[in-house]
Amino acid sequence: MNQFCTETSKSKKNKSNAEGQKMLQGSMNYLNKGRTISVFEIGPPAWIKKEINASTIESHLSLPLPFCQAIGLRQRCMITLKTSTSSSKSWQARLNLYQNGCQLVGGWKSFCLDNGIRVGDVCTMQIIETTLWNVMVDRREDRTINPPL
């Protein structure tokens, strides 16, 4: 499998520099397709914020196609997920592209389990490089350590 997510120069369409600049100048975009809302900004720095639902934990993380394209994801590849830029611990998740969006699969479920991610948590993925993402987890507020008896 190809590790790179961008097209090679032979397969790129001729786009002017102005068109490329337009794609990177977007401020905030809100997409409400499916069950969760995606909020993202194409930077630098680029980031996307997703509220986690049960399907996201059990199966995959859906990402809007405009976001994936804007950060240079053009084909199936592996994404490295980290919870700290200073940590050596990381998870590999496969990114699949479709006509209407992208999905992180494969190692995404392991990432969720290893980091105790639950329904209602919000994950913010900061794009360090196209295939290296730092994930910050904001825990749902109503999570209790000791439930009442």
Q: Which domain holds residue 120?
A: 26-138
Residue 67 counted as domain residue: yes
Please check whether residue 129 lies inside any domain of the structure.
yes
Over its C-alpha atoms, the chain yields an Rg (Å, rounded) of 16
Query: Is residue 19 included in any domain, yes or no?
Result: no
Mean pLDDT of all residues in 121-142? 93
pLDDT at 44: 75
Residue 9 lies in a domain: no
Q: What is the pLDDT of residue 48?
A: 94
Whole-number Å distance between alpha carbons of 71 and 68 = 6
Asked whether the CA dihedral 63, 68, 74, 77 is positive or negative, the reply is: negative
Residues 35, 53: contact at Cβ < 8 Å?
Answer: yes
Q: Is residue 20 part of a domain?
A: no
**Do 18 and 6 touch, CB atoms closer than 8 A?**
no
Distance of CA 11 to the CA centre of its chain: 24
Average pLDDT, the chain: 78
pLDDT on residue 55:
92
Q: Considering the domain boundaries, does residue 66 fall inside one? A: yes
pLDDT (mean) for 26-45: 59
CATH number of the domain where residue 56 is located:
2.40.330.10
Q: Is residue 79 part of a domain?
A: yes
The three-point CA angle 133-137-140 to 5° equals: 155
How many separate domains does the chain show? Answer: 1
